[in-house]
Structure 1
């Protein structure tokens, strides 16, 4: 949906709530603590689920909408009737009991052991709704929705819980439950901005820029589709998946994902909840996609309609090499497993594994978009070249967009987006967008931002297969083979030599001018030569 300017007050209030929760954590010694992220994300999620339940129950029982203390009225409903509410509300709504609602808990904040009451409440909600909200690991274990969040503070737990609840009653989400992706994507970005960086760790998470996500979603889905499966084998917080799901329609697609990071899987779960994709949480898997791909059908790896990925480019997967090279992985990793650099194991080019996995996981009509280092599109040998050869020889390439440098503020690596399409047997679009964008400072890093007009220019040029001088070319598969399988647009741009028509008289005049200039230069040269010789003769030991 298009952003509504009337939503701005709600955006400001929601961001203020997030800032207030962070301030509470900071005042209790949790600022920049590893557990702050868990507290902020989980208490925010609890608030959202609480207000969504309130919104849904008032849809079922409109008479509650005008009651000031509706939660007390709700508590008076007979138990059998109350349990029926579960089946009358939308199936993406967490089912809460009256004593688990924020207003009722708020009234109990001065009771002894209030922190324990809060933690017990969250654990009970997680248990009741486990089938709906649990993220699974690759071995089938379930990661619960909530932790005992007050246990992250070492002292004054009751005061900490009370401070959190004093913030939760300030703002109500009920009035914006009808809003869509654009609103909640803004909130999600703000919520995780301090927790989803590339700072350290073996599996650093990168937040995919809005421009990249928008370009991918719009090129992959140029017209309405329905009943589609979408997949990301390195999902992170789910930015690419959310944009793609939004382009298709949240009720017209099913999301599948896998990521080695539990933190990322929890972020993705939160993103799915905020964007009304709760039905797909059961497909969110925390695990190693390369060694243990989870999603299967009839004993083989599942095939998908759409795949998106911004995989890690280089990481240390040296411990997994022998597993990756096993016989059962030969078809999947047809081009081979990248070497482990002897002096820098963390520089293993594992993006090539993800590329091969994605090619293997597309169904007969599947489409995909993968962010890769730009060096991939021109590498003259090795795994990169073998992958490009298969893309071209099997005619499953839609095109490539080479992005501006620093489109990711967190990495100086130039990136390109490779688009696959199993049905594209004709023209391939190559775009060089490296000269677009405006450079801005983001923290200590430089970042390139594309304007909305520039984003649309890329999308429309690709979708319409338009040739624009020094920007885009449309080529045949045979043209790519002739260029040694290069996917760089610049290698296909025509070298233009401009000719200017002049008369014979103008030509003679130019030649005479050149001759005159040469005579002057030769005369000057003779003079300088004589001066140098005279100076040499005058030198004495």
Structure 2
């Protein structure tokens, strides 16, 4: 079965699960997201388990139904099989299999049996798959899904309907696929649940073009055994693209995000993309107030950092806890003031940029999405941050993106690239605002970059190419001379087109201009006379 067939069948499975939720009154319910993603994950883990045990025992690989063949194992033999599996794989008991639940549908209290099974899987694999909070407590893999049905009499049938959707095909033949397949599936799985209407801590999905450009510029040479971090990870699009560019087995992911929903999405993304080993480093919590990842009392530093932080957010409720001496080094340029009105417009992204700079290892690199206004502001915290990047020689460049690259916000954005090893300069500033094609997405407009346009940006940046009206390559001194502006347009050459002509040609052009002016003046006088005549003819009548 080809990848396209699996993609279609996977999307059909997701749609069918949503159909079950709708049939039982949970369509567009706040809990639908948990049900869909957790049932999908159960299916994925079951099939991944089957795929892996088949690699360990050819008897299972050749069996028509591996679940029936494995039933003949003694308990000791089954335990030995589990020991041979990857340490990042889910350990399933035989009563955890989907086929086992499918065969038990006629028993009473099936919903309780279903919930107990998922709970036992979560407990058995808690050390591998649970997400931590700032306080150190663990968020387990599965909830009691039947409890989201308010009518207890419908719970058994609801759980039976879910199980019936999981037996129509297997993922086993697709596990050799990589990032592109699973990123497509992940996007489809969460597309209805990652909107910008989620209240105070709304998640904004980073477009793949932005994520690809960030990763491809950050990782321009092979690297090994590196750490990657996102202090506002969301569903993990930036981290997944970064890990894919590096190699999933050559990096360890760290993240923090205040949203429980986002942390759940990121966990799912890590499982789908063969990054289970990093799940213990996924933390739900407030990065600005209580950064979790530390070495002793000091914040950890990382080799690669990516972030699309929230731009504006009310953080006045914990402002006093940020504005303390212990944060002076981290927030070196200061903390944005609390406005008298519209506290939601507090520029929290300025805290994230400072936190990221503080969290870079000695040779660390970072890519951060910022509002384009940041790159030219002539005072305040924005300019202090830009001065530090230039004066301490760690600016790698800026790419100003087309407007509406994010369909959810009209704010123009740029990507800021930081490189602590870029001491020699050779800074690339790029204006990509004219690229892309505008399309309609819902009620909003969105700009899409073609593959060639993405490569145009990546290649020009990584090759340090100066392209007329597109990119410039500068020294730190040149940026200081322009008052620390990071806008490419301020460095473009001003060109005046001119043509060599003879004196006779010059005289002929001047005569032509004079004749045209005389004609226009004559026409103007005629119009003046007509207007006066019209006014003179006006009469007042009762």
Q: Which bracket does the TM-score occupy, shorter chain normalised? A: over 0.9
Query: Aligned partners of 2:18 and 2:296: how far apart in 1?
Result: 47
2:247 match: 249
1:80 match: 76
Please list, as runs of the form range in 1=range in 2, the aligned pairs for 1:467-478 lying within 5 A after superposition.
467-478=466-477
Please list, as runs of the form range in 1=range in 2, the aligned pairs for 1:33-52 lying within 5 A after superposition.
33-52=29-48
1:356 match: 354
Deviations 1:122-164 (A, max 9, x none): 0001111000011000110011011011111122111001000
> Any conservation in 2 of the 1:17–1:171 contact (CA below 8 Å)?
no
Query: Aligned partners of 2:132 and 2:217: how far apart in 1?
Result: 31
Q: Does 1:288 align with 2:286?
A: yes
1:487, CA displacement in angstroms?
A: 0.6
What's the secondary structure of 1:251's corresponding residue? helix
> Any conservation in 2 of the 1:374–1:414 contact (CA below 8 Å)?
yes
1:68, CA displacement in angstroms?
A: 2.4
1:341, CA displacement in angstroms?
A: 2.0
1:518, CA displacement in angstroms?
A: 4.2
Deviations 1:242-273 (A, max 9, x none): 00000000000000000001111111000000
Q: 1:113 to 1:519 in 2, by over 3 A?
A: closer
> Any conservation in 2 of the 1:340–1:347 contact (CA below 8 Å)?
no
1:509 match: 508
1:7 match: 3
1:81, CA displacement in angstroms?
A: 1.9
1:443 match: 442
> Any conservation in 2 of the 1:313–1:350 contact (CA below 8 Å)?
yes
2:144 match: 148
Q: 1:81 to 1:520 in 2, by over 3 A?
A: closer
Identify which of 306, 309, 312 aligns with 2:307: 309
Q: Does 1:488 align with 2:484?
A: no
1:138 match: 134
Q: 1:394 to 1:75 in 2, by over 3 A?
A: same
TM-score by length of 2: 0.96
Deviations 1:93-112 (A, max 9, x none): 10001111011110001111
Query: Aligned partners of 2:41 and 2:252: how far apart in 1?
Result: 22
1:64 match: 60
Q: 1:520 to 1:239 in 2, by over 3 A?
A: closer
Identify which of 371, 381, 384 aligns with 1:383: 381
1:533, CA displacement in angstroms?
A: 8.2
1:505, CA displacement in angstroms?
A: 1.2
Query: Aligned partners of 1:314 and 1:434: how far apart in 2?
Result: 23
Please list, as runs of the form range in 1=range in 2, the aligned pairs for 1:94-493 lying within 5 A after superposition.
94-155=90-151, 156-425=154-423, 426-493=425-492
Deviations 1:401-441 (A, max 9, x none): 11111111111111110000011121110111111111111
What's the secondary structure of 2:397's corresponding residue? strand
Q: 1:25 to 1:503 in 2, by over 3 A?
A: same
Q: Which runs of 5+ in 1 are unaligned?
A: none
> Any conservation in 2 of the 1:437–1:450 contact (CA below 8 Å)?
yes
What's the secondary structure of 1:34's corresponding residue? coil
Query: Aligned partners of 1:222 and 1:355: how far apart in 2?
Result: 22
TM-score by length of 1: 0.96
Q: 1:350 to 1:531 in 2, by over 3 A?
A: closer
Deviations 1:25-57 (A, max 9, x none): 000000000110000010111111111111111
Query: Aligned partners of 1:538 and 1:347: how far apart in 2?
Result: 60
Identify which of 11, 17, 34 aligns with 1:21: 17
Query: Aligned partners of 1:525 and 1:21: how far apart in 2?
Result: 74
Query: Aligned partners of 1:380 and 1:359: how far apart in 2?
Result: 20
Query: Aligned partners of 2:339 and 2:459: how far apart in 1?
Result: 41
Deviations 1:485-532 (A, max 9, x none): 111111111111011011111112222333344445556666777788
What's the secondary structure of 2:233's corresponding residue? coil
Deviations 1:450-499 (A, max 9, x none): 00000000000100011111111111111111111111111111111011
1:67, CA displacement in angstroms?
A: 1.8
Deviations 1:221-252 (A, max 9, x none): 01211111000000000000000000000000
Q: 1:520 to 1:190 in 2, by over 3 A?
A: closer
Q: 1:433 to 1:61 in 2, by over 3 A?
A: same
Equivalent pairs, count: 537
What's the secondary structure of 1:473's corresponding residue? strand
Q: 1:483 to 1:153 in 2, by over 3 A?
A: same
